[in-house]
Structure 1
Amino acid sequence: MRAAALPDTREDLHVHESADRARPWQTVVWNDPVNLMSYVVHVFREYFGFSLDQATQLMMAVHNTGHAIVAEGAREQMELHTQAMHDYGLWATVRKAPQ
């Protein structure tokens, strides 16, 4: 009796892993009861180099919706951004970008 040949799933797994690795990571800044809105704008401008308008829009997203995505990219870079936000006293996390 011959054993049935199993389908080769290695290629499918490789494609899935490549797509997952290609998906960017995000630095998310969260609302907190401590920092003034003007300070958050200052941090966004100083650290990320955002314009006043862009920094203000992101700060308002943090204030109104509870969080804002301030950067996307490689995990290591997002971890550095998150640590920098912590150094400034802001609440921030790293997460995988949704598919």
Structure 2
Amino acid sequence: MGVMAVPVEVPERTRQEEAIASRLWQTVVWNDPVNLMNYVVHVFRSYFGFPRAQAERLMLAVHHDGHAVVAEGAREQMELHAQAMHDYGLWATVREARP
């Protein structure tokens, strides 16, 4: 006796779910009193692959403005970036991108 395949109906995403999934999120690195500026540049270059000039510009934004947006994209990816920054000893959060 054979096994009969029964089609399973998968509900489509609602418009609200689609809107949430399509939102842009940001990984924000915050200033802290512990990490040296050279180390922050090293992390940005090593992890994100930024050229030296971009890594230094972002580090200076962290230092002078208190924070810098270092990545933007899907929420899950931004959460991975924030966790990686924590693993390097930097303070990072995820926020929804502003329109």
TM range (shorter): 0.7 to 0.9
Structure with the higher helix share, 1 or 2: 1
Moved over 3 A (4+): 16-21
**Gap runs ≥5 in structure 1:** 1-12
How many equivalent pairs are there? 86
State the superposition RMSD in angstroms.
1.4
Q: Normalising by structure 2, what TM-score? A: 0.81
Give the secondary-structure state (helix, strand or coil) at the position aligned to 1:64. Answer: helix
Residue of structure 2 equivalent to 1:29: 29
Partner in structure 2 of residue 57 of structure 1: 57
Distance 2:87 2:39 in 1: 13
Give unpaired runs (5+ residues) of structure 2: 1-13
Deviations 1:62-98 (A, max 9, x none): 0010000000011111011000000000000011101
Aligned-partner SS, 1:44: helix
TM-aligned CA deviation for residue 17 of structure 1: 5.5
Per-residue CA distance 1:7-36 (angstroms, 9 max, x = gap):
xxxxxx93x654443221100000000000
Aligned-pair identity in percent equals: 73
Q: Is 1:71 the counterpart of 2:77 in the alignment?
A: no
* Counterparts of 2:72 and 2:54, CA distance in 1: 15
What is the DSSP-based 3-state SS (H/G/I as helix, E as strand, rest coil) of the residue aligned with 1:45?
helix
User: Where do 1:1-99 residues align within 5 Å?
Assistant: 14=15, 18-99=18-99
* Length-normalised TM-score, structure 1: 0.81
Q: Deviations over 1:33-56 (max 9, x none)?
A: 000000000000000000000000
Q: Do the aligned residues in 1 keep the contact of 2:21 with 2:74 (CA within 8 Å)?
A: no
